[in-house]
Chains A and B, each alone.
Chain A
């Protein structure tokens, strides 16, 4: 190869189009961050004061007021019920809609879109907002909380379920359909067994998250340990707040351990 030709061999990591796109993104990100930093309303004195304030806060939290543990415990049990019932309810609703959203189960694009729209809406509305809505409809209490958890979880579980269905093995379905099985049968005996491991994994995952979510719903009156937290906060009894926080932390850790155990043994 001639010297001239050799010198012209250049190596670039990205094609020009790729480079343009990447640079565009870098610039856009930098601009957004800088713009946000400059226009956000933050009072710098508060930032400097922060360590002292946090120290003061922790000072008030310790020692913890363990007499508050009684009402905390009842509220905790209520929270667990809310999380569990909410997850179960969500799964009951998410499964049929998930089947509607999976393109291989339901070849109708309009229905797919409809199902996906339900999922997106469910995910976009924060569980606290769902709680607000249900408190307005059903009054304060755990009923509102359970429904809020349920409606928020439909999107999450349904989307993952639809994805699991779409990744399924088509061969088995083809065999069933070729043998003349009606649609419902192919769903029960063809799709469902393939989706089952994914289903339990998703259910467990969402239950774990819902325990955390349920803990805060009480702040808007939807039942659970959030109510105990709210009460203590309003009265500025930080030592009671500390008890509630410690309980929440313990529950979250225990739940994680339980979930890890179940995943290892069953799934």
Chain B
């Protein structure tokens, strides 16, 4: 509340204008216009697209499930990729995440571990899949390896953060009983991190399932290849069928993850 300096009919503003915020919004708006023009967004393109989109949607309906055998083979392979990658990803993330926690490990161990995690996280799983396809050939193996890398990057990082947030007092008390390193981990550290760990392990399962449906586009096996082929052949009704199955699968996986989280509370 600021009173005007002069005495004649002072107008007192209830809210001072927030100039930094207004400046921020203005800059944002300017950026949007600038970027839009750089990317070539024009109303004509958009309008043309909308019309085109209408026709496109029409070609998608009704979804075509004729080639359901092909569909189910692809989905099954995607499931296999996701399950195997999550299993091994979790297994490998446990030691890597532990080695990366700065409150339990000395710096000469945590630095390389964190570097490894950063490397695993930097690249989109699709890019990693491309590299693995080159190294391991087309097929599920490349997809599995790519998703293992993605899983390690995600789970290890969050696992290390969870470990760094535990109360060391509880750990100290367990150590004071004369427990060895493993026992300290089992009774002092694990109870504090397990619920969160279950949370991100199930999240990564869902994420791997989503990605496993895509790695096929670059040769990593699964339904992605089928989807891409159908797309390139303009079989949009088959594309829609595949999409419906993928969405249903992911929703089912989310439900299962919810159960797992509740059972292992």
Residues of A within 8 A of B (CB): 18, 21-22, 25, 32-33, 36-37, 39-43, 46-47, 49-50, 53-54, 57, 77-78, 81-82, 84-85, 88, 120-121, 123-126, 128-129, 132-133, 136-139, 141-143, 146, 212-213, 215-216, 219-220, 223, 229, 233, 245, 248-249, 252-253
- Smallest beta-carbon distance A129→chain B, Å: 7
- Complex-state Cα separation, A222 to B144, whole angstroms: 26
Residues of B within 8 A of A (CB): 28, 31-32, 35-36, 38-41, 45-46, 49, 52-53, 56, 76-77, 79-81, 83-84, 87, 118, 121-124, 126-127, 130-131, 134-137, 139-141, 144, 210-211, 213-214, 217-218, 221, 227-228, 231, 236, 243, 246-247, 250-251, 254, 260, 263-264
- Complex-state Cα separation, A142 to B81, whole angstroms: 31
Chain B interface mostly helix, strand, loop or mixed? helix
In the complex, given contacts A85-B39, A143-B39, A245-B123, what are 8 additional A-B residue pairs having Cβ atoms less than 8 angstroms apart? A39-B80, A40-B81, A82-B39, A84-B31, A120-B251, A120-B254, A124-B250, A138-B52
Contact yes or no, A54 B135, CB < 8 A: yes
Contact yes or no, B263 A57, CB < 8 A: no
- Complex-state Cα separation, A43 to B35, whole angstroms: 47
Contact yes or no, B39 A253, CB < 8 A: no
Which chain A residue shows the least CB distance to B28? Answer: A88
Chain A interface mostly helix, strand, loop or mixed? helix
Contact yes or no, A36 B79, CB < 8 A: yes
- Smallest beta-carbon distance A101→chain B, Å: 16
Q: Which of A18, A85, A136 contacts B35 (CB 8 A)?
A: A85
Contact yes or no, A215 B52, CB < 8 A: no
Contact yes or no, A42 B122, CB < 8 A: no
Contact yes or no, A216 B213, CB < 8 A: no
Contact yes or no, B35 A22, CB < 8 A: no
- Complex interface: chain A residues within 8 A of B246 (CB): 124-125, 129
- Complex-state Cα separation, A213 to B243, whole angstroms: 19
Residue among B77, B121, B137, B221 having the largest count of chain A Cβ atoms under 10 Å = B137
Contact yes or no, B39 A81, CB < 8 A: yes
Which chain A residue shows the least CB distance to B54? Answer: A137
Contact yes or no, A128 B217, CB < 8 A: yes
- Complex-state Cα separation, A41 to B220, whole angstroms: 12
> Known: A88-B32, A126-B213. Contact between A141 and B40, CB under 8 A?
yes
Q: Which of A42, A54, A136 contacts B231 (CB 8 A)?
A: A136
- Complex-state Cα separation, A241 to B77, whole angstroms: 29
Residue among B39, B141, B217, B260 having the largest count of chain A Cβ atoms under 10 Å = B39
Contact yes or no, A42 B39, CB < 8 A: no
Contact yes or no, B45 A32, CB < 8 A: no
Contact yes or no, B127 A143, CB < 8 A: no
